[in-house]
C-alpha cells in the first residue's frame, strides 16, 4: 500500500477533486491539463485529457481514471519523428481505514485521513502516463529501419549494401 500523495508541486495542475462534502454515489469529472503542469518531458506537448469517475461509499472512494494524449516521439528503427497516441487507465481505492479491504490485484489502495479535503490526482496521472509509454517505439509495424552499413532509411530507398543474408 502506498501513502496518499500530498505533493503541493502539482496542485496548480487542476487535478484536484474536493471530497469533503461529496455525497455517496457516482461522480464524474473531466480535466484538460497542459503537460508542463505535470513536469512531463518535451515529448509531451499536447493537452492531456483526464476523465475521472468516483464511486463513493461510506468509508471508501473508488476512482477510475482514463488518460489520453499524443506524444512527439522518434521511431527506434528509422529515427523518423512521429505522433504516438497514448491511452491508458488506472484504478485507485481510497479508504478511510485499512482493515478488511478486498481489492483486485490491479487496484492501487491508498489509506486517507477522514479530514482529507481534496484528492490530488496529478502525480498518479503523471506516473501512469509515463508507464503507458512503450519501451520500443516504431512508426509502423512494417518499418524497415536503417541500413546497418550505409545508414539510409530503408523505408524511403533500397540501398545496394550487402547484408549478412546476401553473403
- pLDDT value of residue 8: 34
Kindly report the pTM of this predicted structure.
Answer: 0.78
Mean per-residue pLDDT, 73-88: 96
Confidence tier at 98 by pLDDT (50, 70, 90): low
- pLDDT value of residue 164: 64
Task: State phi, psi for 78 to the nearest 5 degrees.
Answer: -110, -5
Q: Is the pLDDT of residue 64 over 90?
A: yes
40 within domain boundaries: yes
- pLDDT value of residue 99: 57
Q: What is the tens place of the pLDDT at every residue in 40-56?
A: 999 999 999 999 999 99
1 within domain boundaries: no
44 within domain boundaries: yes
35 within domain boundaries: yes
146 within domain boundaries: no
Residue 118's nearest CA partner among 34, 4, 37, 30 is 4
101 within domain boundaries: yes
Q: Is the pLDDT of residue 102 over 50?
A: yes
- Domain ranges, residue 15: 8-132
151 within domain boundaries: no
DSSP-derived pairing of the beta strands 25-33 and 16-18: unpaired
Q: Tell me how many domains the chain contains.
A: 1
- pLDDT value of residue 124: 93
Q: Is the pLDDT of residue 131 over 70?
A: yes
Amino acid at each position: 500500500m502506498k501513502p496518499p500523495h500530498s505533493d503541493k508541486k502539482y496542485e496548480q495542475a487542476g487535478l484536484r477533486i474536493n471530497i469533503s462534502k461529496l455525497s455517496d454515489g457516482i461522480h464524474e469529472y473531466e480535466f484538460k491539463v497542459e503537460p508542463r503542469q505535470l513536469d512531463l518531458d518535451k515529448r509531451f506537448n499536447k493537452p492531456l485529457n483526464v476523465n475521472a469517475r468516483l464511486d463513493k461509499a461510506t468509508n471508501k472512494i473508488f476512482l477510475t481514471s482514463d488518460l489520453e494524449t499524443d506524444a512527439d516521439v522518434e521511431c527506434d528503427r528509422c529515427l523518423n519523428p512521429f505522433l504516438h497516441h497514448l491511452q491508458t487507465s488506472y484504478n485507485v481505492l481510497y479508504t478511510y481505514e485499512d482493515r478488511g479491504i478486498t481489492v483486485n490485484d490491479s487496484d492501487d489502495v491508498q489509506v486517507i485521513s477522514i479530514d482529507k479535503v481534496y484528492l490530488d490526482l496529478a502525480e498518479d496521472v503523471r506516473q501512469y502516463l509515463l508507464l503507458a509509454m512503450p519501451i520500443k517505439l516504431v512508426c509502423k509495424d512494417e518499418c524497415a529501419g536503417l541500413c546497418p552499413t550505409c545508414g539510409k532509411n530503408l523505408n524511403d530507398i533500397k540501398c545496394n549494401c550487402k547484408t549478412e543474408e546476401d553473403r
